Amino acid sequence: MLTWGVVAVLAIGVYGQRALGMALIDPERLGHRSRQVLAMVPLSILCAVTALQTLSTRGELVVDARVAGIIAAAVLSWKRVPMFAVVVVAAAVTSAVRVLS
Amino acid sequence: MRQIPTGTSLTVGEAWTIAFTYFTVAITVSLVHSTAGTPPWIIVAATLLVNSATATLAYAAVTAAGGSATAGVVAGCLTATRFGVLAAALAPRLWPERWKRTVAAFAAFDPNIALANREQKDVDVRRVYVAMSLWLVLPWWLGASLGAVIGDWISNPKALGMDAMFPALFIAIIRPQLTTNNARLIAILGAGIALALVEVLQGGLPFLVAALPALLALRSRDERRT
């Protein structure tokens, strides 16, 4: 259960990290090579988030109906289907697999 | 103000999809909190002030499993470390004034940073970041508030496959970025490292290590087309 105190500490803790990330980087002093590396960080992290949200629950590897939904999402993305259809079909496939199993 | 910045690669379809996804998932996040006994107004406050379901859900998971509030808060802050790294990644392309970046930091999420990052010109990066932050945060707050009030209406979000919506959205965002061998390698390594470490490191920390494959950007000089 969340309390006011917990909300306050989490708010400071989470915003603090976001602000620190923004503050640590000084755009004017950053070299070309550092920029090249930083430009690829979102891709790397987004793939990590996708992998864990597909194949893990609360810190443990799990294979469940989500995998079917995400495989469908990957196939549709490769076929360049609009993003909205990708998200809705992934949810529908996951839901269908849960109903059928 | 234009809702979709013209002359950028951001499309109306992408903005609406992200708004829809965040709105829907926000309802389910509020449902988790209200099931754990959190009063509606604290759920709304948590949504507006913490601005990260990753953090509040980690707290809820730890305390629901019998962990102390302190352990829950530590877990919540640890899982949010990736937002700091993502903020740092986009920072060089945002405003040179530190105070502007400090304000922008509040809305540092995955999709708005990923979509802003794909712009060629820094000025477009800023416009897409501002627009996408609003397209994401406003539906997020709305969905969370709605969920806090009528959360019980959706009896089982998992049965509707809602837990597949975020990863599906991220796949759709990642896909167009996999244009070079280097990008594909970074993507596979990022995912692989996270999977290898998820059971070893505390929540959130695998993402920090998973950022390292970005160093491969230094590998080849012919991929400087961007």
Domain boundaries, chain B: 12-162, 178-226
Residues of B in contact with A21 (CB under 8 A): 83-89, 91, 105, 108
pLDDT at B1 over 80: no
Q: What is the pLDDT of residue B160?
A: 84
A-chain residues near B166 (CB < 8 A): 49, 53
Region B6-22: mean pLDDT is 92
Mean pLDDT lowest for which of B50-64, B69-83, B122-136, B147-161? B147-161
Q: What is the mean pLDDT of residues A64-77?
A: 96
Q: Provide, as residue numbers in chain B, all residues whose Cβ is less than 8 Å from the Cβ of A22.
A: 87-88, 91, 94, 98, 101-102, 104-105, 108
Any B CB within 8 A of A100 CB? no
B127-185, pLDDT tens digit by residue?
A: 999 999 999 999 999 999 998 888 666 667 778 888 899 999 999 999 999 999 999 99
Average pLDDT over residues A5-13: 94
pTM: 0.90
Does residue A54 carry a pLDDT above 80? yes
Q: Which residue does chain A place closest to B79, by CA atoms?
A: A14
Q: In three state form, how does the secondary structure of chain B look? A: CCCCCCCCCCCHHHHHHHHHHHHHHHHHHHHHHHHCCCCHHHHHHHHHHHCCHHHHHHHHHHHHCCCCHHHHHHHHHHHCHHHHHHHHHHHHHCCCCHHHHHHHHHHCCHHHHHHHHCCCCHHHHHHHHHHHHHHHHHHHHHHHHHHHHHHHHCCCHHHHCHHHHHHHHHHHHHHHHCCCHHHHHHHHHHHHHHHHHCCCCCCCHHHHHHCHHHHHHHCCCCCCCC
Distance from CA of B9 to the nearest CA of A (A): 14
Rounded to a whole number of angstroms, the distance from the CA of B7 to the nearest CA of chain A is 20
Contact B77 A73 (CB under 8 A): no
What does the pLDDT average to over B15-41?
90
